[in-house]
């Protein structure tokens, strides 16, 4: 399979992907019934006249929608199609296969039902109003593939206006997995978050959210340099939107080469082959490199390891160790939030997910998981700093941590289920 240009995929895989999506039934998700509908009596309960009674109960108390409808286990995966995978602004309709794919992951990993919604609008305010007007249907909103900087404006407006969890996975999901892996890598390298110098290449949704989360976890803002296409985001620049201004540094560094010199950590959420071996060589002893551009990272692991034998590395790819994969987070974060009917996903819930993922990596790996990856052994170390996506413990561990944090911070509207106690 060729990935040298970051875009081309073997033609056989292209054909297989189209067949997968088209046959035998178009698409990847469908609705199923959860109640019998085989007799006249069943139909009388499912629709008229029986359906009138739960309607009355919901009028009496809107929270009864969680009791009598699918709202409590239903998430909307919503996009405007402005930043679909690595394909850019494809438009809303072309984003539908990706949104359906997200639905597959929600159902497969956390048994959460999904309606995918593609909103064909060309401005943030129209998108916001559309979501607000349909939000009563859902127990949570997963925003997906929305370009920066509009994604920040959209998410904040929806968080302010809705009383259900709103989560932009491209921001917070990525940031949570990065943070969990980074805390473990720092432990292995004998460093602490409060002291390390961090370089973040990419100032879109994931990059800015990662800076915010790492700062909440203890990183010092003055130790973080963020770069976009024009170099280091510094306080002297006149071209910054409010979101980039929020991560601007008072620094004399201007280029990636400048920023990398002496840095302890590199986090790349940008594009292929942007980091040279020479830049890695200039980093501090025992560096940590998260080169997450996909499918081609900012620096390929073979080049990175040839330049620095003392590094710990992660990528976004499944064919290298330490894959930073959002499926480690979003299904279980929503599962925990839905299970206690949380009104939001706050910073404490995100931090709880980080620490749960970090801790799980230290636990013995089940034999069944080893077998699924064709491994004889796997334990916490430089090649295993974050859990594997197929780890069956993720649902209980991460969802439980998120649910407990929701209860502890007062944003839950339902008692903590016994399985999380």
Q: Give the residue numbers annotated as catalytic, written as ranges.
A: 47, 102
Q: In angstroms, rounded to a whole number, what is the distance separating the alpha carbons of residues 88 and 81? A: 8
**Which helix (DSSP H) or strand (DSSP E) does residue 167 occupy?**
strand 166-168
Please state at what angle helix 174-189 crosses helix 347-360, rounded to 10 degrees.
50
CA distance 253 to 260: 9
Neighbouring C-alpha atoms within 13 Å toward the C-beta of 194:
1
Strand partners, 85: none
Cis peptide before 149 (omega within 30 of 0): yes
Structure-token pair, residue 54: 């739960």
Q: How far apart are alpha carbons 314 and 319 in whole angstroms?
A: 11
Tokens coding 259: 């920023």
d(CA 26, CA 41): 33
Q: Which two structure tokens, joined as six digits, stand for 201? A: 């290449």
Q: What is the largest CA-CA distance in the chain?
A: 76
Alpha-helical regions (H) of 235-316: 242-245, 256-260, 277-281, 301-307
Residue 149's Cβ-count burial label (10 Å; 0-12, 13-18, 19+) is middle
CA distance 136 to 71: 8
């Amino acid at each position: 399979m060729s990935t040298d240009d970051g875009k081309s995929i073997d033609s056989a895989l292209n054909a297989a992907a189209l067949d997968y999506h088209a046959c035998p039934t178009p698409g990847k998700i469908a609705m199923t019934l959860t109640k019998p509908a085989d007799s006249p009596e069943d139909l009388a309960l499912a629709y008229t006249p029986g359906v009138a009674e739960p309607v009355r109960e919901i009028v009496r108390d809107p929270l009864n929608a969680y009791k009598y409808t699918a709202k409590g286990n239903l998430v909307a995966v919503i996009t405007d199609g402005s930043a679909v995978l690595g394909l850019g602004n494809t438009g809303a309709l072309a984003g539908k296969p990706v949104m359906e794919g997200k639905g597959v992951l929600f159902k497969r990993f956390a048994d959460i039902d999904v309606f995918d919604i593609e909103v064909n609008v060309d401005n943030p305010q129209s998108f916001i109003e559309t979501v607000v007007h349909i939000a009563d249907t859902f127990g949570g909103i997963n925003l997906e593939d929305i370009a920066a900087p509009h994604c920040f404006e959209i998410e904040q407006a929806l968080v302010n206006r809705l009383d259900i969890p709103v989560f932009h996975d491209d921001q917070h999901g990525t940031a949570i997995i990065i943070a969990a892996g980074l805390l473990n890598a720092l432990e292995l390298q004998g460093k602490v978050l409060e002291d390390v110098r961090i370089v973040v290449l990419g100032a879109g949704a994931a990059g800015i959210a990662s800076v915010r989360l790492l700062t909440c976890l203890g990183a010092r803002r003055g130790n973080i340099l963020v770069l976009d296409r024009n170099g280091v985001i510094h306080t002297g620049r006149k071209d910054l939107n409010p979101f980039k201004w929020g991560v601007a540094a008072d620094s004399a560094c201007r280029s990636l080469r400048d920023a990398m010199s002496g840095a302890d950590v590199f986090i790349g959420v940008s594009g292929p082959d942007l980091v040279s071996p020479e830049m890695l060589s200039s980093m501090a002893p025992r560096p940590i490199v998260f080169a997450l551009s996909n499918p081609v990272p900012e620096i390929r692991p073979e080049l990175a390891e040839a330049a620095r034998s003392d590094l710990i590395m992660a990528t976004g790819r499944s064919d290298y160790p330490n894959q930073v994969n959002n499926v480690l987070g979003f299904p279980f974060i929503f599962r925990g939030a839905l299970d206690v009917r949380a009104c939001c996903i706050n910073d404490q819930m995100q931090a709880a997910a980080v620490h749960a993922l970090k801790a799980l990596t230290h636990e013995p790996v089940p034999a069944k998981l080893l077998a699924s990856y064709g491994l004889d052994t796997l334990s916490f170390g430089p090649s295993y700093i974050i859990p594997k996506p197929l780890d069956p413990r993720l649902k209980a561990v991460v969802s439980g941590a998120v649910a407990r944090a929701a209860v502890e911070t007062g944003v839950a509207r339902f008692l903590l289920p016994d399985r999380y106690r």
